[in-house]
Chain A
Amino acid sequence: MSTLTLPRTTLAPGIVPELPDAERKPLTKKDTAADHPTWCPGCGDFSVLALYYKIIEKRKIWHEKICTIAGIGCSSRFPYFVQAHGAHFIHGRALAFASGVSLSRPDLHVFVFGGDGDAFSIGGNHFNHTARKNVKLTYVVMDNHVYGLTKKQTSPTSPIGFKSKTDVWGSTDRPINPMKQAIAAGATFVARSTATNIPHLLKVMEAAMDHNGFSFIECLSECIEFYPGAFDGANPRKGGSFPEVPAEHDVTDEYAAYKLADAEGPGVFGIFYQVQRPTKNANEAKLITEHRSKVEGLADWQILKKSFDRMK
């Protein structure tokens, strides 16, 4: 059986020095920052990016093991700003792409970043199915309640009455409730935070990363240009409040979580729902183990030969 390898296009060919894990240092922001973000000054997305750098450093994630994936939108520019392997895919399909990475490469930390249009409108179906399949990855949606990249059209999370270029008299369609959507679809980690409460967002992002399964965070992230002040109500410094998930809330209680998602005003923040259910990754790995045990000791071509022998 032939093993095929391809030549590589490398700038400086040569033997790369070994780097034993023990000698590796955590990556600093300097190591992981890439292109200068193209976001507007004051955009909420900066907080999420800064915290991503911080988590990589704090958790000592090796450089080559980071995999940042996004679809299309302002927030989806994310992978360019991270000095690591990354992919900027098409609109709405980042989760499907990321599932392909996660399922074929269980050794990687797969992080997906996107906006409300990507997650709940054009990619709505992928959101439901990735949640239901419980593919192991972390999905942070920077929800600004408006289409920013295309300059102010109504988004699936825009509130009723929101005036945009496509709803000049105010939006009339009921917005999606991301928490309810995620819980109903079968996500196993569902949390909510804001870009303005850094310690809270960091805590939630770390918990999401540690979750074995599909972890979803809705992070309210203000669009300073097209929907300024959208989340003042959730910011105590702007006269709002930041109600956290009550300490007595049972995160494994689906109905209680659903009820939390009904809260008025800025809503509540924290982990709404978290349960352990076998991941798609684990289910597939189990299938493989079972099937491999039946063909133990056989090379791939011999397994194929067994099939062909039955077709004679």
Chain B
Amino acid sequence: MDPQLSLLLNGIVSGLLLGGLYAAAAAGLAVSFGMLDIVNIAHPALMVMGAFTVVVIGTALGLDPLLVALLQAPLFYVIGIGIYGIYHHFFERRGEEALQGLAFFFGVMFIVEVGLVMAFGPEQRFLDPDYAFITWRLGEIDLPLRMLVPAVLALTVVGLLILWLRRSFTGLAIAAVAQDAEALRLMAVDPVRIKRLAFGISIALAAMAGGALVVVQPVEPASGQIFIGRVFAIVIMGGMASLPGMVTAALLFGVVENVTATFYGPSWSPAVAFGWLLLVLAFRPQGLFGRAA
């Protein structure tokens, strides 16, 4: 096979795998920002925190990192509930989300990131599962397991989330709460309780994504900053509340980043993400798949 073609195919495939992971990272934000209209800019920082807890717990107990990622989700659910409680009490109730609420999340992001630096130092961490260096080969295409397994896990979780949001009562309530909280109240469902639940889920998702991320590539406390742009870009490009749209956007993202890195060198990859976001914001703010506001 022509070497350039082989490079391209590999770039696309590894991009899809990376994109699967990005989808997991953005899923939580699609819920909190897309559906609940809570601008949680601390989301990536919490994701990185999830990555670090996986490293610590996994190393200490000798467990597989993806297993730890799943197991720690309930803990982060509780953290999410706590954060929402504070946010609601001090900001949402008073109607001050715009300035103070945003600043609040910025402060949280900062506290988490600097806290991680203080606790772990600024260096990179990763945790190798047993299959870390195994690569399956399909002809010319490399499928490194360290990317395949987390991506499959991530996409499965997102898929389950989509199903749950569409089929279960609570899931439908979550989708409804942003559109019409009053109507929800009339159905004897407390909107605040629903939001709290949903926000908790979004943080749990972030933590799982972070844990999976640690298997794919090293993370450091500052990683959150690069991910902010990525996850917001993916959520916005996917059309805010549309999860399937978000997944598509995430996969596209991963592919474009990887193919750029392969053919133009890695220096321009970060700009790809944000460049796209700025363009989308300028010309099609409802995203590629969303409905116009």
Chain B associates with chain A: no
The chain B residues found within 8 Å of chain A, CB to CB, are none
